Amino acid sequence: MNMLNTPEFKVGLLVLVVSGIIATMSLKVSEDPSYLGTSKRAFFLLEDATGLVKSSPVYVAGIRVGVIKEIVLQNDKAKVEIILKQDVPLYTSSRVEIRAAGILGDKNVVVIPGDPRDPPLEDGGQIIVVDDRASVDRLISEVSKITDSLAQVADNIKSATEGDDSKPLGQIIKNLEEITRDVAQMTNQNKDQVNLIVERIASISETLDNLVNDESDEGFKAAWREAVASLKNVEGTLNNFEEISDKINRGEGTLGRLINDEATVEELNTAISGVNNFIEMGNRIETSIDFHSYYLSSDEQFKSFLGLKVQPGRDRYYFVQVVDDADGVRERIDTTTVVDGGAPSTEQKTELFQDRVKFTALFAKNFRDFTLKGGVIENTGGMGIEYRMFKDKLVWSAEAFDLTNLHFRSSLRYDLLKGIYLVGGVEDAFPQNGQNSNLFMGAGIFLTNDDLNILFSGFSF
């Protein structure tokens, strides 16, 4: 009897085939690479393994490449053992990131293989770098730090507004309050002088208006009409130039032959381009006129200034000024008189030996909000500094000149309107050799290129 044809053999063979199919399907479905015998192991340590589950997947670049094999306690830390496919590269610079898998607290393990230039990680080795991004405690801790910082900023602002000047913000607010109080006090104490300055400015404006609107034969308007009439005579001259130009274009005469020569034309074009660049640079130069006057409290007299500012660029400018100083320039003369039979006596005299008109010529260099300047200040060598605040509306300046008999002037200038400003400060802040310290208060006008163009374009003749 043939054994292969028996029912027992057929049933046994069927059982073996079905078992093989079941085993193969189990290995296919299983995510554990160790079942196939081709895997590698590694482990890492965590402070808190909450949310990680045994046999949950491990990812590399979003692809499942292994599972968590074990989670055990080691030295008060969670030791997480993972099994990866054999073809997954791991290097000593590899790291692990714990990422949230959902809002319910589940977490996934993501492995970053590391730099291929580093040595491979041995089988069963430790991955040192672990980034627990999914830690809710860490997130709460970071939010708490931010909240503390915001609370501290709010406390500082509250303290500064309540008058606490022990911190930088409080000191700034205190300094602004002192400046405002000083300016208000200076204005209240010198109301009469301020009114007088305003009257003088009004008088100057009236004088300028009378000058421009003078209808006499020798007035400004008459002179302007003569200038316009002279321009009409230019028309005939232009016609002559047109005839000459036609001859030159036809190549007639020596000049025509020279201009129609290509080499000469190229040289002329180069020269004209240079002239155009020079004219364009001149148009960019800003020229402005500054006039101001202030009242000296100790000397009880006015001091006036008329200046011209030429600024070829934003970083520098040149400044010349004429100063009308009623005090003039004085010198002290000591005279010794010997009395018969008595002690000699010394008499001191102060005499004016120069005119009251003085001159200033300065070169200035701008550094953001600061300006350094030097040159001649009121007929003597000197230097100064300026600091601009609140978008150039408030300017503090200090000047020192005449080093043999030092004069020091400090002032604040505040722009009320465009082109009109108030100025106040102190002259001879450190008096010596008979000087008097003078507080002053005044006002002035400042006219730029645009202001002058608008002023003259508004005249009707």
Binned at pLDDT 50, 70 and 90, residue 372 comes out as: very high
Cα separation values, 271 from 131, 262, 275, 276, Å: 70, 14, 6, 9
Q: In what order do the strands lie in the sheet with 129-131?
A: 125-126, 39-46, 77-85, 63-74, 57-60, 107-112, 95-100, 129-131
Q: Which comes out higher in pLDDT, residue 237 or 315?
A: 315
Longest dimension (CA), the chain: 175
- The tokens for 221 are 């308007």
Binned at pLDDT 50, 70 and 90, residue 219 comes out as: confident
**pLDDT value at 139 more than 80:** no
Q: In one letter, which amino acid is 330?
A: R
Residues 6 or more apart whose Cβ sits within 8 Å of residue 139: none
Identify which of 72, 110, 71, 55 has the alpha carbon closest to the alpha carbon of residue 88: 110
- Give the pLDDT score at 171: 77
| % of the chain exceeding 70 in pLDDT | 73
**pLDDT value at 407 more than 70:** yes
Strand partners, 98: 109
- Give the pLDDT score at 461: 44
Identify which of 61, 53, 63, 57 has the alpha carbon closest to the alpha carbon of residue 31: 57
How confident is the model over 387-406, as a mean pLDDT? 87
**pLDDT value at 1 more than 70:** no
- Burial of 332: CB neighbours in 10 Å, binned 0-12, 13-18, 19+: exposed
Most confident of 6-15, 118-127, 243-252, 293-302: 118-127
- Give the pLDDT score at 397: 93
- Give the pLDDT score at 250: 72
| % of the chain exceeding 90 in pLDDT | 21
Distance separating the N- and C-terminal Cα atoms of the chain: 142
**DSSP of 367-416:** ETTEEEEEEEETTEEEEEEEEEETTTTEEEEEEEE-GGG-EEEEEEEEEE
H-run or E-run covering 331:
strand 329-337
HSE of 248, CA atoms in CB hemisphere, 13 A: 11
pTM of the model: 0.38
How confident is the model over 315-324, as a mean pLDDT? 89
How confident is the model over 153-171, as a mean pLDDT? 72
Euclidean distance between CA atoms 353 and 356, whole angstroms: 9
**pLDDT value at 8 more than 80:** no
